[in-house]
Chain A
Amino acid sequence: MATTEPRARQWAVLAVSALLAAGCAAAAPPAAPSAGPVSGGTLVYAVAREPDCLDPHVSPADITGEIQRNAFDSLVAQRPDGGFAPWLARSWEVAPDGRAYTFHLREDVRFVDGERFDAEAVRANFEHIAAPETKSQYAVSLLGPYAGTDVLDAGTVRVRFHQPYVPFLQAASTSYLGFYSPRALREHGDELCAGGPHAVGSGPFREVSAVKGQGVEFVRNDAYRWAPATAAHQGPAHLERLSVRVLPEDAVRTGALGSGQVDVAAALPPTEIAFVAQDPALAVLKHAAPGQPYTYFFNTARQPFADPRARQAVRAAIDLDGIVAGVYFGQYDRAHSPLSPPTFGYDPGTETRRNYDPALANRLLDELGYTGRDAQGYRTRDGQRFTVVHPWSANLVRDQQDLVSQAVHQELRKVGIDLVLRPVDSGTYLTERNAGRYDLIGFSWARADPDLLSTIYASGSQFADGGANGSRIHDPEIDALLAEGRGAVDPGRRAQAYHRVQQRILDETYALPVHTSTQAYGYRATVHGLALDANSWTTFYDTWVEPA
């Protein structure tokens, strides 16, 4: 809602954030409470987006994964250091070839409808995800080269894969591979998108209702005794009720937080972070999301970006440090690698690359033959202007990325490149994108495992294949490294493979990382124990509120 923000206020925010410097605006937890956690109470959580479908087995949406975490448990939990801790599985073994995982399950776990969680439930859920009728858009890709699930006995289950699949533990830790009561799958299989009472899991909260346009209501699951080993406590959750409300307008969401109508607000706009952090009644929890930062992809399958020098020229022409600092008021970090820093396998070596060099850009453009100039001052070759088509859709834009594109347009103009910002509706955008009718597109992707690079850079992951290969590359070296990363059981070797992928992508200038996706939550100082999981999404199991 940049249009409703008075300009004077934006400048005020700029001044304030400059004074505060980065450290102050980052997570500033309120003073530790004198007493321990209090049981009971209601927490109201305002989110910015409405899930279309609340079934984590089907929906690829972040918001579905985050909200349904409260109702669904997973086999394992990801530790902050990237390792894994027991959850519904007490322990597990990975076959030496990385093609089978055997899980030993807890025996005391029950779904909220009273059904028992056992090996058969694991099999039913994974088979449900893999079944074509489910039309899973994301969970099925997390199952990777899934071959089948064997029930060895009630408490032991083996998941098999066609190829070695090391990322499986991370995949199994997400709510997308969380477990429904087998009865819910049997009886309400085609109504699961509606969420609410059909979302029968074994999680710390029971989902009582989901109203489209309004939100989702949870009550505590008092029988809960199987929290992951990563949690701060065991037993039932502290909160008695959890109310998730959809407030799409930034101004309304932050206003509702400031006036105490909600306790936690997601997706604070960068302009508001410093304000919220300044308010003694509020605090900010800010975290870089793992996965792929917001990145521009050069379409290498057509001119002008089929020529690496054209890609290098664009990269050298843009002062991304300045743009990111300006558009996001210093709240978001500049990204340097195809992976975000909190992702396993991130290569800090990418940070030392220095790309901004307008002189180099001009030299490369001369070399490419774009030596003419037209009436508007853009470079031409054989009378043809150097044009870069960048389609974008207002419905799909996040985090003011359209402002970033406008700034990039200005930078490219300086060296004589015409960046054509083409606003289209989302349907057109997706059609054009899937058909490769663009020169430059941008998107980000959250996932706490470097295997997501396979979805974005592997030859077999073109948009037409169900992937997201935005640069439309077919690079055998990257394919080999991605396969190695997927199959390497040794973490050191695995990280090494992904380091080389990142360096290769930057060496070849397939893509241009812009800024790290940053999750900024504002919360009332009366809220304690608010935690973020490996995806930088909220978890409310350990959260409690001071009684009013």
Chain B
Amino acid sequence: MTRQLLRVTAHRLWGGVLVLWGALTVTFLALRAAPGDPVDTVLGPQVGASPQLRERISAELGLADPWWLQYLRSLVRPLTGDLGRSYQLAQDVGDVLASQLGPTAQLALAATGLAAAIAVVTATATAGRGGAVAAWVSGGELLAVSAPLFWVGLLLLSVFSFQLRWLPAAGAGGVAGLVLPAVTLALPLGGVMAQVLRGALDRTLEQPYVTTLRARGLSEVAVRLRHCLRHGAVPLITMGGWLVGDLLTGTVLVETVFARPGIGRTLVTAVIAKDFPVVTAVVLLAALLFLVINLLVDLVSLVVDPRLRQPGRAREAAR
């Protein structure tokens, strides 16, 4: 198994280098292809700028250099740990991200935990059982998945913060400030995860070994939690990559509604302002995160699902 893990890891690492190169290249091209001059957005909408000021800003941002030099710089600079300086904020990108990473990580972890809890509870409780309760729960999940995050956030705010006054509306201050944003973000994730998990559990519960377990007199709760959940969790784990993507897009909206500092909100303002260094750094960060999560997903799958450890099948799993 160890050799297999090493092979999977090496394979992934090489793929990761290609992914990072691709992400940087696509970002570079997309930002250059987008209309508008970054100098304009740096200066803001109010005034035009004197030609001298434009030249000065353009030179300082390195925008006056030929495109291939700019491209090479965007590839090489991150290798040296230098993420550059934000055009818009006039601060080092590393400092900006460092200050915004914590709140986003808190939010993402809290939402993931909550979503997993929602999924496990509702799926194990209703899997394999028809009837009105299951239909209602499933309908609720569908609603959670399809309701716009923005609207859910405002709804929760107006009930729990403005009317009942239980929780603060904004700010990253402490656990109380984390509850509403985390719930908002967790609801759609939990909905999707619950549907996937229930599907898997439904299939598992039909397996012959479940009948065997029941025949041995195991309680229904034990059958579901101790035996079926492990099987049902495999498709959920492979959703890890999707989960990261969904979390990242979700934080953009949630951080805006709840006025939380964070990477999502930083990214939006940076894209609007054509703040190349910040956008590039966030894309790099997201790509790295994706790689790490996908690697973990593969490794965890190998641990959870013994079938994948058979020779010849690990490669499939690595794909």
**Residues on A facing B (Cβ under 8 Å):** 4, 50, 52-53, 55, 58, 60-61, 132, 135, 137-138, 141, 190-191, 193-194, 211-215, 245-249, 251-252, 255-256, 258-261, 393, 395-396, 424-431, 434, 443, 445, 455, 462-468
* A425-B91 CB under 8 A given contacts A135-B56, A212-B96, A212-B261: no
- What B residues does A249 contact at CB under 8 A? 154, 256-257, 259
Q: Please, how many angstroms separate the alpha-carbon atoms of A396 and B151 in the complex?
A: 23
* Contact yes or no, A261 B170, CB < 8 A: yes
* Contact yes or no, B47 A466, CB < 8 A: yes
* Contact yes or no, A427 B90, CB < 8 A: no
Q: Which listed residue (B99, B161, B168, B256) contacts A248, Cβ 8 A?
A: B256
- What B residues does A428 contact at CB under 8 A? 35-36
**Is residue B198 contacting chain A, with contact meaning CB distance below 8 A?**
no
Please name 10 further chain A to chain B contacts, defined as beta carbons within 8 Å, in addition to the given A53-B89, A443-B45, sorted by A numbering. Answer: A194-B89, A213-B262, A251-B158, A258-B162, A259-B169, A426-B272, A430-B41, A430-B45, A431-B35, A465-B48
- What B residues does A395 contact at CB under 8 A? 272
Q: Please, how many angstroms separate the alpha-carbon atoms of A194 and B99 in the complex?
A: 12
- What B residues does A396 contact at CB under 8 A? 45
Q: Which 4 A-B pairs have the closest CB atoms?
A: A427-B36, A213-B261, A463-B48, A466-B50
- What A residues does B106 contact at CB under 8 A? none
Contact indicator per residue, chain B 108-146, by CB within 8 Å of chain A (1) or not (0): 000000000000000000000000000000000000000
* Contact yes or no, B161 A261, CB < 8 A: yes
Q: Which listed residue (A55, A245, A425) contacts B35, Cβ 8 A?
A: A425
* Contact yes or no, A430 B89, CB < 8 A: no
Q: Which listed residue (B154, B168, B172) contacts A251, Cβ 8 A?
A: B154
* Contact yes or no, B40 A53, CB < 8 A: no
Q: Which listed residue (A213, A251, A426, A462) contacts B45, Cβ 8 A?
A: A426
- What B residues does A190 contact at CB under 8 A? 90
Q: Which listed residue (B37, B56, B269) contacts A431, Cβ 8 A?
A: B37
Q: Please, how many angstroms separate the alpha-carbon atoms of A353 and B242 in the complex?
A: 62
- What A residues does B35 contact at CB under 8 A? 424-425, 427-428, 431
* Contact yes or no, B36 A259, CB < 8 A: no
- What B residues does A426 contact at CB under 8 A? 36, 41, 45, 272-273
Q: Which listed residue (B56, B60, B90) contacts A193, Cβ 8 A?
A: B90
- What B residues does A211 contact at CB under 8 A? 99, 261
* Contact yes or no, A135 B57, CB < 8 A: yes
- Please give the distance in Å from B260's CB to the nearest CB on chain A: 7
Q: Please, how many angstroms separate the alpha-carbon atoms of A137 and B266 in the complex?
A: 23
**Is residue B53 contacting chain A, with contact meaning CB distance below 8 A?**
yes
**Is residue B157 contacting chain A, with contact meaning CB distance below 8 A?**
yes
- Please give the distance in Å from B95's CB to the nearest CB on chain A: 8
Contact indicator per residue, chain B 68-89, by CB within 8 Å of chain A (1) or not (0): 0000000000000000000011
**Is residue B30 contacting chain A, with contact meaning CB distance below 8 A?**
no
Can you give 6 A-B contacts (C-beta < 8 A)? A52-B273, A141-B47, A191-B91, A249-B256, A425-B34, A427-B37
Q: Which listed residue (A194, A214, A429) contacts B259, Cβ 8 A?
A: A214
* A214-B261 CB under 8 A given contacts A255-B161, A261-B170, A465-B50: yes
Residue of chain B at shortest CB distance from A51? B89
**Is residue B44 contacting chain A, with contact meaning CB distance below 8 A?**
yes
- Please give the distance in Å from A393's CB to the nearest CB on chain B: 8
**Is residue B212 contacting chain A, with contact meaning CB distance below 8 A?**
no
* A252-B34 CB under 8 A given contacts A426-B272, A467-B47: no
Residue of chain B at shortest CB distance from A53? B90
- Please give the distance in Å from B262's CB to the nearest CB on chain A: 6
Q: Please, how many angstroms separate the alpha-carbon atoms of A465 and B273 in the complex?
A: 22
- Please give the distance in Å from B58's CB to the nearest CB on chain A: 11
Question: Could you say which interface size class chain B belongs to?
Answer: 35 or more
**Is residue B224 contacting chain A, with contact meaning CB distance below 8 A?**
no
* Contact yes or no, B43 A137, CB < 8 A: yes
| Most chain B beta-carbon neighbours within 10 Å: one of A213, A215, A256, A259 | A213
* Contact yes or no, B40 A434, CB < 8 A: yes
**Residues on B facing A (Cβ under 8 Å):** 34-38, 40-41, 43-53, 56-57, 60, 88-91, 96, 99-100, 103, 150-151, 154, 157-158, 161-163, 165, 168-172, 255-262, 265-266, 269, 272-274
- Please give the distance in Å from A245's CB to the nearest CB on chain B: 6
* A138-B46 CB under 8 A given contacts A426-B36, A427-B36, A464-B51: yes
- What A residues does B169 contact at CB under 8 A? 247, 252, 255-256, 259, 261
Q: Which listed residue (A193, A252, A259) contacts B89, Cβ 8 A?
A: A193
Q: Please, how many angstroms separate the alpha-carbon atoms of A50 and B158 in the complex?
A: 23
- Please give the distance in Å from B19's CB to the nearest CB on chain A: 28
Q: Which listed residue (A193, A256, A445, A466) contacts B48, Cβ 8 A?
A: A466
| Most chain B beta-carbon neighbours within 10 Å: one of A61, A141, A430, A443 | A430
Q: Please, how many angstroms separate the alpha-carbon atoms of A421 and B249 in the complex?
A: 30
- What A residues does B266 contact at CB under 8 A? 212-213
Q: Please, how many angstroms separate the alpha-carbon atoms of A213 and B257 in the complex?
A: 11
- What B residues does A60 contact at CB under 8 A? 44, 46-47
- Please give the distance in Å from A260's CB to the nearest CB on chain B: 8
Q: Please, how many angstroms separate the alpha-carbon atoms of A58 and B91 in the complex?
A: 14
Q: Please, how many angstroms separate the alpha-carbon atoms of A6 and B99 in the complex?
A: 37
* Contact yes or no, A259 B161, CB < 8 A: yes
- Please give the distance in Å from B282's CB to the nearest CB on chain A: 14
Q: Please, how many angstroms separate the alpha-carbon atoms of A187 and B89 in the complex?
A: 19
Q: Please, how many angstroms separate the alpha-carbon atoms of A443 and B157 in the complex?
A: 33
* Contact yes or no, B161 A4, CB < 8 A: no
Residue of chain A at shortest CB distance from B275? A52
* Contact yes or no, B44 A137, CB < 8 A: yes
- What A residues does B172 contact at CB under 8 A? 214
Q: Please, how many angstroms separate the alpha-carbon atoms of A395 and B103 in the complex?
A: 25
- Please give the distance in Å from A263's CB to the nearest CB on chain B: 14
- What B residues does A191 contact at CB under 8 A? 91
Q: Which listed residue (B89, B158, B171) contacts A212, Cβ 8 A?
A: B89
* Contact yes or no, A247 B47, CB < 8 A: no
Q: Please, how many angstroms separate the alpha-carbon atoms of A324 and B161 in the complex?
A: 34
Residue of chain B at shortest CB distance from A46? B170
* Contact yes or no, A255 B47, CB < 8 A: no
* Contact yes or no, B56 A213, CB < 8 A: no
Q: Please, how many angstroms separate the alpha-carbon atoms of A462 and B48 in the complex?
A: 8
- What A residues does B157 contact at CB under 8 A? 251-252, 255
Q: Please, how many angstroms separate the alpha-carbon atoms of A61 and B34 in the complex?
A: 25
- Please give the distance in Å from B211's CB to the nearest CB on chain A: 52
- What A residues does B257 contact at CB under 8 A? 249, 252
- Please give the distance in Å from B34's CB to the nearest CB on chain A: 7
Residue of chain A at shortest CB distance from B104? A213
* A58-B48 CB under 8 A given contacts A52-B273, A431-B36: no
* Contact yes or no, A252 B44, CB < 8 A: no
* Contact yes or no, B265 A213, CB < 8 A: yes
* A132-B88 CB under 8 A given contacts A52-B273, A425-B272, A428-B36: no
- What B residues does A466 contact at CB under 8 A? 47-50, 53
Q: Please, how many angstroms separate the alpha-carbon atoms of A215 and B51 in the complex?
A: 34
Residue of chain B at shortest CB distance from A254? B162
* Contact yes or no, B162 A4, CB < 8 A: no
Q: Please, how many angstroms separate the alpha-carbon atoms of A428 and B35 in the complex?
A: 5
* Contact yes or no, A252 B170, CB < 8 A: yes
* Contact yes or no, A137 B47, CB < 8 A: yes
Residue of chain B at shortest CB distance from A395? B272
Residue of chain A at shortest CB distance from B261? A213
- What A residues does B36 contact at CB under 8 A? 425-431
